[in-house]
Structure 1
Amino acid sequence: MFGDLMGMMGKLKETQQKIEETKKRLDTVLIDEQSSDGLLKVTLTANRTVKAVTVDDALLEDKEQLEDYLVLVFNKAIAKATAVNEAELAAVAQDGMPNIPGMDFLK
């Protein structure tokens, strides 16, 4: 029994390390998003850190339009980055889950 418990603890520790490695790797995964007309472009990491924003000069003439574009494009980029982040971390966590009787509903 204690051997099983020690094995599970080791597997959980290994999984935690893999999760941390995955989080670091997600800092290098870039998500690009742009407005439908290409006037605004943003780049985020899969950990949702802004890396770049490119604004066409045409948007600088209309503050309200620029604000609307920023909200729309950032929300789309954040949604994509979140999906990538959650999928990657879930895959690592799922792979590292110890086989605990009665907990198979998580799969």
Structure 2
Amino acid sequence: MRDLMGMMGKVKEMQEKMGALQEEIAALEVEGTAGGGLVTVRLNGKGVMLGLKVDPSLFREEEIEVLEDLIMAAHNDAKAKAEAEMQKKTQDLTAGLPIPPGMKLPF
């Protein structure tokens, strides 16, 4: 019974830490680039685009398709960085807890 109480205490503690982690992730800002820095995208930890910068040299009619591709690439780069940071923070938080393999957090 003592182990169960200890485990329940750890679960409560983890829930509190997960809440703080979710707030931290929401406030996280990452930047992705494409085209050697010609396009830069800023995202928050939830994947919402906060900013977009495009080098003026790309504003030519014949370059529109290239610009569209670079914007998508920069967005994907920033999103991948945000997801990697979230995964790292989650792993740090749950280190040492008996969580079954493959269980994804946050719930």
TM range (shorter): 0.7 to 0.9
- Following the alignment from structure 2 to structure 1, what is the Cα–Cα distance between the partners of residues 58 and 7? 56
Aligned position for 2:8: 9
**Alignment partner, residue 64 of structure 1:** 65
User: How far does residue 4 in structure 1 lie from its aligned partner after superposition?
Assistant: 1.5
Q: Is the 8 A contact 2:31 2:40 kept in 1?
A: yes
CA contact (8 A) 2:32 2:76 kept: no
Alpha-carbon offset, residue 28 of structure 1: 2.2
CA apart distance, 1:84: 0.6
Q: Post-superposition shift, 1:10? A: 1.6
Structure 2 unaligned residues grouped into runs of 5+: 101-107
Residue in 1 aligned with 2:105?
A: none
* Aligned sequence identity (%): 32
Aligned residues: 98
TM-score, normalised on structure 1? 0.77
- The answer to which of 44-53 and 72-81 deviates more is 44-53
Give the RMSD, CA atoms, in angstroms: 2.1
Q: Deviations over 1:7-39 (max 9, x none)?
A: 211211110110110111122222112224322
SS of equivalent residue, structure 1 residue 48: coil
